[in-house]
Amino acid sequence: MWKRRTIKKKAVTLLKKSYSRMLSVCFLIAMLTAAYSVSTTFFNLQMPSEPSGTDAAYTFSISNSEAVLDTISHFFEGTPLAAISDGILYDISSVVIDLFSPNISVFFPFLRTIYYYLAEDTGTVLLFSTVSILFAFLYQIFISNILLIGEKRFFLENRNYRQTPVSKIFFLFKLRYIRHPAWVMFMRSLFQSLWNLTVVGGIVKHYEYILIPYILAENPRISRKDAFHLSRQLMRRSKWKFFMLDLSFAGWKILSLFTLGLLDLLFVNPYIAACRAELYATLRRNYVLSRSPGYEALNDSYLEHVPSDDELLISKALYDDSQGPYTKISYFAPEQYTVFLFSVQPPIKAVRSPIKAERKYDLLTYLFLFPVFSVSGWILETLIRLINDGVWVKSGILFGPWIPLYGLYGILILLLGKHLIKKPALVFILNMLLYSVLEYSANFISELITGKALREYSEFFLNLNGRVYLGGAIAFALIGCAILYYLAPRWADRYMKLGHSKRVFLCTLLYVLFIADVIFTVLLG
């Protein structure tokens, strides 16, 4: 049996050795998934006494709390429950709901659908809200859940491999092995939701299923039946102790609320994640040593046993490159998991043609990427607003699908960030500063010319003259990193495969459309 004190002690040791990477992983997971909902409060806190009505791209025009409370008041109009929509009770309830509800989920788009339908009673709203639910569902299944498995993989490897990269959270995407783990995680969520209807059964099953993401992180090929079976067996005599372990963090969680989630982000989340990874490793080790039924599915021995140089040489000599030419990449990565020994290998194409962020772009490629970034930004904002609000909202000031701020932002990132590619933390800070300057300047100039800002952020707790706010800067910093390390190199590679004449023609066509849209907007504006 395991001891809570021992688990925590090992977790603290890990925190001291690799705090920055553990913090980075938890921060990315908090921003990209429904996990760690309290951690993002500090960046996106809005005044609860005011209606949301903000034009911010990366927050809800109708908050989670507003969707919940106003829907309740509609359904229970004329009853005592309707009073929840007024006064101090509304403010307190709003803060609590927004603190603990996830930013990305299927439930809240569903509530927004009901909210809009009750408020406006239009078929158009219902249509867009349905699309919103669909997009939120697909995101949760194929992106959020896969990233959560990646998080578990990082913490499992980080126990013994001190240079485990933060990019490990994307390992299933790199392997291009997504559908099966997504299916298993979906079934876990479905069963958990059904058991939650029984309340007590929901609590029991929560701890029964809690190790499924860890099992998938170790063996993504495992069947759904075996994953559920192993999780139940590993937790057979540990559910109560696991509950008490979670309960022991209650003090930290309460303190985190007083810091608006900042303590959660900086310490509590990495601490808890390290504890749970250490606990899984302990339970897994005991189960394998006992040769209990199904232990063969826990087949990644290198999570526990770091291979020696001699073992690596032998393994490399026996490795069949035709099944995944991964030896060079993994063997020469010091203090990192030997990825060519993993049970799932990436497609040969993914290894032979890796994305190279450290590169030069010619003038024609820059000219091509500007409108591409502008269109991509328009699509991104439209989708985010659709998922968040359940309604279609026109993004940008142009009539066409362009947001030039994204184009300018992307080009400047490529120009200024090319010397910092090997320092992602500095790239992130640079992106935040760059976005803040661009957004502040754009709103300032718009106020001078038209008397109105392009976007209004005055409702946010951390804003600068209502022209820029911290949450938006962080969101754009993540987008900037995606541009520099992934999107721009991939799009440039595909663009360069075209002949010179085709590249010139494509650029010309894009700019003719863009300039025509600008002229059209000015004339009719």
Reported as a single tens digit per residue, the pLDDT across 203-222 is 999 999 999 999 999 999 99
Q: Give the distance, in angstroms, between the CA of residue 122 and the centroid of all CA atoms in the same chain.
A: 33
Q: What is residue 462's predicted lDDT score, i.e. its pLDDT?
A: 84
DSSP string, 460-491: BSSEETTTEEHHHHHHHHHHHHHIIIIIHHHH
Q: Give the residue carrying structure tokens 């996990």.
A: 35
Boundaries of every domain in the chain = 4-297, 363-524
Q: Which range is least confidently modeled, 28-32, 144-148, 347-351?
A: 347-351
- pLDDT > 60? residue 119: yes
Higher per-residue confidence, 282 vs 103 = 282
Measured CA to CA, the distance from residue 401 to residue 421 in angstroms comes to 30
Each residue's pLDDT tens digit, 292-322: 999 999 999 999 989 888 887 787 777 665 5
Distance of CA 524 to CAs 448, 519, 520, Å? 20, 9, 6
Contact 91, 63 (CB under 8 A): no
Q: What is the rounded average pLDDT of the residues 324-347?
A: 71
Strand 468-469 relative to strand 463-464: parallel, antiparallel, unpaired?
antiparallel
- pLDDT > 50? residue 49: no
Q: Is the pTM of this model over 0.75?
A: yes
Each residue's pLDDT tens digit, 408-462: 999 999 999 988 998 999 999 999 999 999 999 999 998 888 888 888 888 887 8
The token pair at 165 is 């990269």
382-396 burial, b at 16+ Cβ within 10 Å, e below that, comes to bebbbbbbbbeeebb
Contact 483, 56 (CB under 8 A): no
- pLDDT > 80? residue 72: no
User: In the structure, what pLDDT confidence band is assigned to residue 126 with cuts at 50, 70 and 90?
Assistant: low
Q: What is residue 51's predicted lDDT score, i.e. its pLDDT?
A: 44
User: In the structure, what pLDDT confidence band is assigned to residue 59 with cuts at 50, 70 and 90?
Assistant: low
Q: What is the mean pLDDT of the chain?
A: 84
- pLDDT > 70? residue 106: no
Contact 114, 69 (CB under 8 A): no
Measured CA to CA, the distance from residue 307 to residue 267 in angstroms comes to 31
- pLDDT > 80? residue 247: yes
- How much is the CA Rg of the chain, to the nearest whole Å? 25
Q: Give the residue carrying structure tokens 């479905």.
A: 190
- pLDDT > 60? residue 238: yes
Q: Give the residue carrying structure tokens 């500007």.
A: 370
Long-range contacts of 508-513 (CB under 8 A, 24+ apart): 510/368, 510/371, 510/372, 511/367, 511/371, 513/371, 513/400
Indicate the residue type of 191. Answer: F
Angle at 381 between CA 378 and CA 383, to 5 degrees: 105
Contact 131, 385 (CB under 8 A): no
Q: What is residue 16's predicted lDDT score, i.e. its pLDDT?
A: 94
User: In the structure, what pLDDT confidence band is assigned to residue 261 with cuts at 50, 70 and 90?
Assistant: confident
User: In the structure, what pLDDT confidence band is assigned to residue 182 with cuts at 50, 70 and 90?
Assistant: very high
- Angle between the 64-75 and 87-100 helix axes, to the nearest 10 degrees? 130
Q: What is residue 45's predicted lDDT score, i.e. its pLDDT?
A: 72
Higher per-residue confidence, 75 vs 142 = 142
- pLDDT > 90? residue 389: no
Residues 6+ apart with CB under 8 A from 121: none
The token pair at 129 is 């809200």
User: In the structure, what pLDDT confidence band is assigned to residue 25 with cuts at 50, 70 and 90?
Assistant: very high
